[in-house]
Amino acid sequence: MGNADLLVITELFLPTKGGTAVWFDEVYRRLGGKNIHVVTARVPGAEEHDRDHPNSVHRVELRRRPWVKPESLPMYANLLTKGASILVRHPIDQIHCGRVLPEGLVGWLLARSFRKKLLIYAHGEEITTWTQPAKHKVMTFTYRHADHVIANSEFTRRELLKLGVAEERITLLPPGVNVQRFRKGLPFADLKHSLGMAADEPLLLSVGRLSRRKGFDMVIRALRLLAHKGLTPHYAIIGIGEDHGYLERLAREEGVSQQVHLLGHVSMEDLPRWYNACEFFLMPNREIDGDNEGFGMVFMEAAACGKTSIAGLAGGTGAAVLDGETGLRVDGTHVEALSQAIERLLTDEALRRRLENHAWRRAVEDFSWERVAEKTREAMDAPLGQAVSQDKAV
């Protein structure tokens, strides 16, 4: 289809933080120019971000209103109105939606009204956590009526099949990484110094929202077990979230607060340097009340910086970390197993080097955003009801 004219509806888009926002910004800037119209949320910093963006970015108010029932009704109305105005004024070929709700339902209404092809992204956690009967019913309907659904992992693909989405409409396509920004060989001595660390002291790293399913608390618990074996690595966590106070308290209770560093947000320039600074990356994710990690873009960021990872067994992280090939996967509910995996990577340098070399090569060759954009274009060009074959999508 070449440079197709697209309407992209996504609440999550840079400068909003998070992997999904990065995904859509990175891919659609590579798929075209001003002929791609992105309808997204009005957020602080948006004007500066959009000024030189290659796509046409349209910002609308996307806030829930407690006095309106349902609270999300204004979001649907604003997305629908802006999307319709773009479809009237521009020769749009397809509609792409960042999530199934609210974006996908709005996209379905517009696609049927204007007779356009509809593509929706599925991330996994929405399928396993949106259990309210009415919401689940609307979600299922919307996924089933999309022309194409992009699943970010095999886990997500299986969940879509459980909903009754036709297999031939699902394309397996994980997100990627900016291999020009996330790369090996970046300086990091000042970062370690800022934590009061010596240059040769080992540093473990996690990046992500401070929520229970990420498993950061289990790493803190594992530090106490490692100390009994004479291993006292520092542990830095980049991110914000509801578990900040809990993690601080836990570090004190476990007697490892001197090793644990909650860094909050770091600059975009420093994030790749933090990956370079660590010995390896950890996110031993687990399922919490149906909430799962759909893929884990942070694993690919670490890999692009030449680092191996420890991931959990839950959700779709097996697509990001190949156990025994690019990293290790452990039961994220089992602190002893996690402690053993950390000890193994800290003490077996040959194993660590082998895993990180394979991780880096896979990230650069298969997960660059250029590669993801190419596969997205294949999904766009596929006939209705025909997915890109899975062996081509990853």
Tens of pLDDT along 123-151? 988 998 888 999 999 999 999 999 999 99
304 Cβ neighbours under 8 A, 6+ residues apart: 177, 178, 179, 182, 183, 360, 363, 364, 367
89 Cβ neighbours under 8 A, 6+ residues apart: none
Mean pLDDT, the chain, as a whole number?
A: 94
Q: What is the pLDDT of residue 9?
A: 98
Average pLDDT on 351-364 reads: 98
Token digits for 293? 């990690």
User: Residue 392 — pLDDT band, cuts 50, 70, 90?
Assistant: very low
Q: What is the pLDDT of residue 69?
A: 65
Token digits for 175? 């997100």
User: Residue 186 — pLDDT band, cuts 50, 70, 90?
Assistant: very high
Q: What is the pLDDT of residue 387?
A: 54
Domain ranges of the chain: 6-176+368-393, 189-366
Average pLDDT on 78-94 reads: 97
User: Residue 289 — pLDDT band, cuts 50, 70, 90?
Assistant: confident
Higher pLDDT, residue 294 or 118: 118
Read off the pLDDT of residues 227-279 as tens digits, 9 standing for 90 and up.
Answer: 999 999 999 999 999 999 999 999 999 999 999 999 999 999 999 999 999 99
Domain 6-176+368-393 classification at class level: alpha beta
Of 66-75, 139-148, 216-225, 240-249, the one with minimum mean pLDDT is: 66-75
Q: What is the pLDDT of residue 390?
A: 42
User: Residue 389 — pLDDT band, cuts 50, 70, 90?
Assistant: very low
End-to-end CA distance of the chain: 21
Sheet containing strand 6-9, strands side by side: 56-60, 36-41, 6-9, 94-97, 117-122, 148-151, 170-172
Question: At residue 359, does pLDDT exceed 90?
Answer: yes
Of 299-303, 379-383, 389-393, the one with minimum mean pLDDT is: 389-393
Question: At residue 379, does pLDDT exceed 50?
Answer: yes
What are the beta bridge partners of residue 281? 205, 309
Q: Which of 358, 371, 178, 181 is nearest to 276 (CA)?
A: 181
Residue entry with tokens 């609210």: 102
User: Residue 46 — pLDDT band, cuts 50, 70, 90?
Assistant: very high
Helix (H) or strand (E) holding 57: strand 56-60
Q: What is the pLDDT of residue 339?
A: 98
Global pTM? 0.88
The CA distance from 385 to 374, in Å, is 19
Q: What is the pLDDT of residue 294?
A: 84
CB neighbours of residue 285 within 10 Å: 27
The CA distance from 215 to 280, in Å, is 15
Contact predicate 64/75, CB 8 Å: yes
Query: What letters, b where the CB count within 10 A reaches 16 and e where it falls short, cover 245-276?
Result: eebeebbeebebeebbbbbeeeeeebbbbbbb
The CA distance from 54 to 25, in Å, is 10
> Hey, do 6-176+368-393 and 189-366 end up sharing a CATH topology, with the first three levels equal?
yes
Domain 189-366 maps to which CATH number in 3.40.50.300, 3.10.20.90, 1.10.760.10, 3.40.50.2000? Answer: 3.40.50.2000
